[in-house]
Structure formats: structure tokens, C-alpha cells
Amino acid sequence: MSDTDDGIDGLDGRDGTVLEGLRAAVLMLAGSDARLAAHDGRAVRRLGVSLAATGLGGGGLVAVAWAMAANACPWWHDTHLPLMATAAVLALLALGGRRWLAAPGELLAPGRADGGLVTTAVMIVLALCLLGIVPFHREPSNLPAWLAWTRPPEEYRVLLAMGMWGAWAMMTPTHFCRHRPDAPPLVAAFARTHPLPVTAGWMAVTLAVSLWELSFLSLPWVILPGAAGLLAGGAGAVALCRATGGISRRGLLAANLATQLAFLLGYLVGKSHLIH
């Protein structure tokens, strides 16, 4: 696959529609550097909403990959190590989220072989964290049947919420940092014009969903995942962008990844206290 072939040619449209906003979000998250640089920066008013939608959709894809692998290899329930499910998620991310995984290495060690080592370390940490997502508690639900879908198995709740937190982390720096001089037009326009109400609204939705879906954790541990997401996606994302010279695509993707990992670690800590 060439650098300009990122598989999103079908998402056309140049009229600022919802489709154009989604196309811009896909470019930001997974498009090649060449295609991102060629984007004229239009439809950025819809970009924040589109990033939120793709964050939720990405979490859904990860959950589907997890479910398919877990159901295909049910023996992992006896080992308490979701090896196949973790492998399926990592394979999906390697195919569609390689720029997301590589962002920390490219940001911290641009143009050096050390960047590959950072990416490898990120994948190892992510794999170890995913191995900790084991169904351990099946809470009864008194919800009517038509609302049962809002309370899926616990591991899917975490995977869905992770994508939501990652999307929010990409919005926060736009209110506190300037874009880098070498930022592509789409990233620069997003940094200049992203509206605060979208960031605040998505934070409220994400936090509410996290508290609702993880309510099986006892106090104060139910608060920990959301607090970790707020800290990493707020102060952490802003500090990262400022430390690297301003807002860039790699900085936003690195903030996305770090926030998802922070939320996942917060959940694992809370879960460990519930188990014990």
C-alpha cells in the first residue's frame, strides 16, 4: 500500500456535509501524511463531532473483534487470560490503527530507530493491559428487554468507553495550545476553530457513560477510571502538546492513546479491588 493509498477514497464530498466531517476525522486518525497535507481544512466545524463518532465507532469495532475471538476460542475462560481476544484486537489496530500506535514513537524520537522501540513498548503495555480485561462479574439487570443492550458484558463496556475518552483527549488541547507551524491545514484549522461546547459536551457524555457502565465497581473505585481519563485527556494532553511545540497530528494521536491506556489502567485497578 502506497503512502497515498489509505483506503478512504470512497469518503468523498467537498460540501461540508456529515460525510465530509467523517472523512476528515478518518484522515486525522488513520490517513497518510500525504493525504492529510492535501486536505484543504474545510468541514472542521463538524470535525469534533465526527471525531467523537469515530471514537465510539472505533471502540465498537474493537469490542466486535474481541467478541468474535473470544467466542471462537471459549477455552480462554478457563485460563483467565484472553489471549486470542487480545491478539485479535492488536491485529485490528495494526491494520487500521498503526499511525495511532506509532504516534508516541514518532513524536518522542522522530526520524530515529528509537521510535520503533517506543512503538514496540507501547504495544507490549497495551497487550498486558488488555490481558487484564477478564469477565469476572455478571451483575443482574432489572432493565426492560429493550434497554438490555445498554448493559453489555463488562469487558465490552470498557472497550467502548476507551474510544470515547481517546476522542475527547484530541479535543482538549485545542483550547489551550496553538498548532505547530508545520501542522497540516486540517490540523491547524481544527486547533483554531474547534468549539468549546463540543469538548465540554463530549466530556460530560463520556464521563456519564463511564460512571453508568462501570457502576458495578464499588466506591471509590468506580470514580477512578473516569478520573484517570480526565487527568490524562485534560492536563496530560495539554502538557504533551505544549512540550512538543504545539498541536500536531502525532501529538493528538499520542494523547488519544495515552488517555485510553490511563482509563484502562484505572479500570483494572478498580477491578482488582472488587475481586479482592
Q: What is the pLDDT of residues 135-180, one digit of tens each?
A: 655 566 666 777 777 777 788 889 999 999 999 999 999 999 999 9
Please give the Cα distance from 89 to 129 (Å, whole number): 12
CB–CB of 211/164 below 8 Å? no
Q: 457502576: which residue's cell?
A: 215
Would you place residue 12 in the very low, low, confident or very high pLDDT band (cuts 50, 70, 90)?
very low
pLDDT of 114 above 70: no
* pLDDT at residue number 71: 81
Please give the Cα distance from 109 to 117 (Å, whole number): 10
* pLDDT at residue number 155: 84
* pLDDT at residue number 75: 67
CB–CB of 195/48 below 8 Å? yes
pLDDT, averaged across the chain: 83
* pLDDT at residue number 70: 82
Would you place residue 18 in the very low, low, confident or very high pLDDT band (cuts 50, 70, 90)?
confident
* Biggest CA-to-CA distance, the chain: 55
Beta bridge mates, 247: 179
pTM: 0.86
pLDDT of 14 above 60: no
CB–CB of 178/241 below 8 Å? no
Please give the Cα distance from 34 to 108 (Å, whole number): 21
Considering the chain, what percentage of its residues have pLDDT values greater than 90? 39
Give the range with max mean pLDDT: 97-106, 131-140, 178-187: 178-187
